[in-house]
Chains A and B, each alone.
Chain A
Amino acid sequence: MNSDTRNLIYIVALSLVVGLAFVLPASARAGEVYQVDSAHSSILFKSSHMGLGNTYGRFNDFSGKFAIDQKNPQNSSVEFTVKAASIDTGDAQRDKHLKSPDFLNAKQFPVITFKSQQAKKLDEKSAEVKGTLTLHGISKTVTVKIQKIGEGKDPWGKQRLGIETTFTVKRSEFGMNFMPMAVGEQVKLIISVEGILQKDEGRHARAD
């Protein structure tokens, strides 16, 4: 094989790689912004009750977006806003208590937010995101591991990508220290979201 033939093979191979980059699934392209589809997303939490059992609940009203930059993973970002008053544990009386000044104080601090500061790709299906969680008016830096669940087109041709994270917060660190004997200090959060690719924002690297 002479050098011209080798060069030709390299050029064809390079073209194929470049070409594939455009036909690969969405996450393979740089700077894609996904809007959270709240109908197919969940924010769940678990907390101990008197050390005897666990209480599970969810937040029903939230929004957010995340951007994935495959070329420069550190440019990927996540932004999330949750309405504190949308807490739902399946018991109206308990929800009223959780929304009161005893815990979330939802009227004074109506939203819970998370905004990423930096991201690090761990492997093809996971990343570590460090960001600021603001809960009950107190902001703390938290690091969460985000797992990719899957991606593909829905029946309407929209590109979707699902991610999930599980992490634990200590409620006293966010100024919620009432009833320490009845309600567990550690609250485990499970956030599972499905995002829809935003066509017009597809070239912006960051969600903000």
Chain B
Amino acid sequence: MPALIDTLARTVLLPVMASGALLFIAWRLSRKQPVTTRGPWAAPLALVAGLVLGQGALGAMAWPPMEAIHWLPLLALLATALVLLERGISSPSWAKHGLRLVLFMALPFSLLSPLIEHSWGPVEGFLWVVALGLAGFGLALVFEQVARRSQGFALPLQLVLLATGSSIALVLSGSLLLGQLAGILAASIGVFMVLAFFFPSLSLAGGTMTVFSIQLAGLWMVGYFYAELTATIALILFLAPLAVWLSRATSPVRFVPRFG
């Protein structure tokens, strides 16, 4: 199989088929429920299925994790498990925020542990983990808030554009692999964009954005610390979701982000 077709099959077709199949099953299982209530459990599962299968097809998974990128599917699965647990157990808002904060602290800690061990030392490592963990947590909060106010294809389209832009930036940073992983993310979330044409009330609120955020933030971190993604590009990518958020803000007071 020519290399280009093989790459497309692994990074686009497979994630799309996996995410699409899972959403189709969810739709068949609960057709009588409105899409808005089906989405919260089916959507994160569909997204993580696309991510894990796509990364597996690229041969970028290992147990135990050897490299930073090997942590990405595990953290996406952990995020999905957390989201599904929240759906099953009623918990106060502070507990949801606390668990997500721990999850987003685990992201830089696991990705950057070789640098903490060999290059930075505990103090610098701690500062990086806290700063990046808070940034990731903030990113997820912003996405979640936007998702709670959005239905239809607009938000998935913006996410596809963001993931595609990240893919291009990561390829330019010197890593085709990271670019392909961001491509898998774009393809997986792209399924929701297509579905939104048929189900205009489709919502990504309630957990999907946590899975998306952890994967996207993780790819940026790996790109910056292990490839040559520049600080400027990383910052621009990080600020892009804030622009989406601010563009929809009606009142700063009413627009305090929180998880559902």
State which of A7-15, A19-27, A173-181, A196-204 sits at the interface with chain B: A173-181
Task: Decide: A100 and B226 in contact? CB cutoff 8 A.
Answer: yes
Task: Decide: A105 and B226 in contact? CB cutoff 8 A.
Answer: yes
A101 close to B (CB within 8 Å) = yes
By a beta-carbon cutoff of 8 Å, the part of chain A in contact with chain B is: 93, 96-97, 99-102, 105, 107-110, 137-138, 175, 177-179, 181-182
Indicate the member of A102, A108, A137, A181 with the most B CB atoms within 10 Å.
A108
Considering the chains assembled together, what is the distance between the CA atoms of A115 and B66 in angstroms? 21
A173: min CB distance to chain B, Å: 13
Task: Decide: B62 and A96 in contact? CB cutoff 8 A.
Answer: no
Question: What residues of chain A lie closer than 8 Å to B175, measured between beta carbons?
Answer: 97, 100-102
Task: Decide: B228 and A175 in contact? CB cutoff 8 A.
Answer: no
Question: What residues of chain A lie closer than 8 Å to B69, measured between beta carbons?
Answer: 101
The residue from B176, B222, B228 contacting A179, defined by CB atoms under 8 A apart: B176
Task: Decide: B228 and A96 in contact? CB cutoff 8 A.
Answer: yes
- The 5 closest A-B CB pairs, nearest first, are A96-B174, A100-B175, A102-B177, A100-B174, A100-B227
B91: min CB distance to chain A, Å: 36
By a beta-carbon cutoff of 8 Å, the part of chain B in contact with chain A is: 3, 6, 58-60, 62, 66-69, 114-115, 118, 173-178, 222, 225-228
Considering the chains assembled together, what is the distance between the CA atoms of A102 and B3 in angstroms? 16
B72: min CB distance to chain A, Å: 11
Task: Decide: A107 and B115 in contact? CB cutoff 8 A.
Answer: yes
Task: Decide: A175 and B66 in contact? CB cutoff 8 A.
Answer: yes
Task: Decide: A182 and B3 in contact? CB cutoff 8 A.
Answer: yes
Task: Decide: B174 and A107 in contact? CB cutoff 8 A.
Answer: no
Q: Chain B residue with minimal CB distance to A102?
A: B177
Task: Decide: B177 and A100 in contact? CB cutoff 8 A.
Answer: yes
Question: What residues of chain B lie closer than 8 Å to A93, measured between beta carbons?
Answer: 174
Indicate the member of B6, B67, B69 with the most A CB atoms within 10 Å.
B67
Give 8 pairs: A residue, B residue, CB < 8 Å, sorted on A: A97-B176, A100-B227, A101-B222, A101-B226, A102-B175, A175-B66, A178-B60, A181-B6
A178-B58, A182-B3 given. 10 additional CB < 8 A pairs?
A97-B174, A101-B69, A101-B175, A101-B177, A101-B178, A102-B178, A109-B114, A137-B67, A175-B66, A181-B6
A84: min CB distance to chain B, Å: 12
Question: What residues of chain B lie closer than 8 Å to A101, measured between beta carbons?
Answer: 67-69, 175, 177-178, 222, 226-227
Question: What residues of chain A lie closer than 8 Å to B173, measured between beta carbons?
Answer: 100
Considering the chains assembled together, what is the distance between the CA atoms of A125 and B48 in angstroms? 59
Q: Chain A residue with minimal CB distance to B176?
A: A102
A91: min CB distance to chain B, Å: 12
Indicate the member of A99, A100, A177 with the most B CB atoms within 10 Å.
A100
Considering the chains assembled together, what is the distance between the CA atoms of A125 and B146 in angstroms? 72
Q: Chain A residue with minimal CB distance to B173?
A: A100
The residue from B58, B59, B228 contacting A100, defined by CB atoms under 8 A apart: B228
Considering the chains assembled together, what is the distance between the CA atoms of A175 and B62 in angstroms? 9
Question: What residues of chain B lie closer than 8 Å to A99, measured between beta carbons?
Answer: 174
Task: Decide: B177 and A178 in contact? CB cutoff 8 A.
Answer: yes
Question: What residues of chain A lie closer than 8 Å to B226, measured between beta carbons?
Answer: 100-101, 105, 107-108
Question: What residues of chain A lie closer than 8 Å to B59, measured between beta carbons?
Answer: 177-178
Q: Chain B residue with minimal CB distance to A138?
A: B66
Considering the chains assembled together, what is the distance between the CA atoms of A138 and B59 in angstroms? 16
The residue from B3, B67, B176 contacting A108, defined by CB atoms under 8 A apart: B67
Q: Chain A residue with minimal CB distance to B69?
A: A101
Question: What residues of chain B lie closer than 8 Å to A107, measured between beta carbons?
Answer: 115, 225-226
Q: Chain A residue with minimal CB distance to B60?
A: A178
Q: Chain A residue with minimal CB distance to B228?
A: A96
B171: min CB distance to chain A, Å: 10
Considering the chains assembled together, what is the distance between the CA atoms of A105 and B66 in angstroms? 11
Question: What residues of chain A lie closer than 8 Å to B174, measured between beta carbons?
Answer: 93, 96-97, 99-100
Task: Decide: B176 and A110 in contact? CB cutoff 8 A.
Answer: no
B182: min CB distance to chain A, Å: 13
Question: What residues of chain B lie closer than 8 Å to A102, measured between beta carbons?
Answer: 175-178
Considering the chains assembled together, what is the distance between the CA atoms of A96 and B171 in angstroms? 11
Task: Decide: B66 and A137 in contact? CB cutoff 8 A.
Answer: yes
Question: What residues of chain B lie closer than 8 Å to A178, measured between beta carbons?
Answer: 58-60, 176-177
B188: min CB distance to chain A, Å: 20
A57: min CB distance to chain B, Å: 16
Question: What residues of chain A lie closer than 8 Å to B58, measured between beta carbons?
Answer: 178
